[in-house]
Amino acid sequence: MSDSAMANTLQEQVAVDDLGSDHFISRVNPARMGNAANIAYGGCTISVGIQAACSTVPAKYLLYSTTGNYLGPAFTDRKLKCSVRRVRDTRTFATRLVEISQDQDDGKARMCMIMLADFQVKEETSLLVYSAPPSMAYSPPEQCLTTEEGAKDLVRRGIATEKMAKLYMASFGFNSRFFETRGVPETVGPNNLLGIVKTAKTPQHDLDLTSKTTADWFRCRHPLVRLQDRFAGLGFLLDGGLSFIPLTHSNKFLDDAGPCSSLDFALRFFTGDIDMDKWYIRETKTIAGNDGRTYTEARFWDQAGNMVATMNQQSIMRPSKSFVRASL
């Protein structure tokens, strides 16, 4: 997809147009990011599914849970279509089942994702208000380098090559259209360019794989007018990198593995008080890996330390063919 065909704002990227009868179509094509194959970034699919579901409930209902399965890759040369089924509508709760598909060249629809979205009318008060803190104390955004500055700094210090920095920006630079991103220096990803710099010794080098973290500060470059746009925007953001963070935290990259992609996701929102013009921090940590799958989580806090959302995913991660041959 050419630059001219790409969304210029997150608001546009997550937007859908109403086709009538609870059917919607994405305003722009999904884009590619952070995948070795030429397929669309999964966060594009999640975000338009959320947007479609939110478009069928009154604004007083807040999204609190979205779970789903990736049924097949989405392509970047065509729009996503959403069909919403109204499963539940009560005075307090609403549930929507969303089927997301793309039309193929023969005109037949092919499913990309199925998603269940749950909503609740905002409660007047809460008995308990609490959330777990980040895994460690992290530098504030003012003391962190932007994505591009961080890559250039590693080149300047002789840790990364120009080629590595260019690969990093080409693979993940799409996010910079929508977010100002600052990598947290105490964590893994900003120090090894998400695994591209395989010889880098990060500040968490001696920690166990399940104790390592990658963290980044984010704030949106353009206003998100409606709350449903912010929910959709976080769906877009939090999907990023979860399928290959186990590689990043092992100083490996996508070329060290065979198939590596998300299988399912669970996105939880703990508040509707979201202002993406302000800084938020995302921390990712892998939890388990076995039977050719990995399980990884992203947590998302505001600057006051309130957890806003989490996303968990199981992903396929098979060995590369060369690894399999070497093991025989």
**Mean pLDDT across 33-62:** 90
Quote the pLDDT of residue 326.
52
Instruction: List, in order, residues 6 or more apart from 291 with CB less than 8 Å away.
Output: none
Mind spelling out the 3-state secondary structure of the chain?
A: CCHHHCCCCHHHHCCEEEEECCEEEECCCCCCCCCCCCCCCHHHHHHHHHHHHHCCCCCCEEEEEEEEEECCCCCCCCCCEEEEEEEEECCCEEEEEEEEEEECCCCCEEEEEEEEEEEEECCCCCCCCCCCCCCCCCCCHHHCEEHHHHHHHHHHCCCCCHHHHHHHHHHHHHHHHCEEEEECCCCCHHHHHHHCCCCCCCCCCCCCHHHCCEEEEEEECCCCCCHHHHHHHHHHHHCCCCCCHHHHCCCCCHHHEEEEEEEEEEEEECCCCCCCCCCEEEEEEEEEEECCEEEEEEEEEECCCCEEEEEEEEEEEEECHHHHHHHC
Residue 38 · residue 74 · CB < 8 Å: no
Find the helix packing angle between 162-172 and 147-156, rounded to 10°.
170
Distances (CA, A) of 262 to 42, 207, 234, 293: 8, 25, 17, 9
Q: Which fold has domain 3-121?
A: Thiol Ester Dehydrase; Chain A (3.10.129)
Q: Residue 2 — pLDDT band, cuts 50, 70, 90?
A: very low
Report domain extents, the chain.
Answer: 3-121, 141-327
Q: What is the mean pLDDT of the chain?
A: 95
pLDDT digits (tens, 9 = 90+) for 61-104: 999 999 999 999 999 999 999 999 999 999 999 999 999 999 99
Amino acid sitting at position 115: M
Tokens representing 135 are 């895994």
Q: Residue 227 — pLDDT band, cuts 50, 70, 90?
A: very high
Quote the pLDDT of residue 267.
99
Answer yes or no: same fold for 3-121 and 141-327.
yes
| Through-space distance between the first and last CA atoms of the chain, rounded to whole angstroms | 41
**Mean pLDDT across 196-219:** 98
- Classify domain 141-327 by CATH number: 3.10.129.10
Quote the pLDDT of residue 59.
94
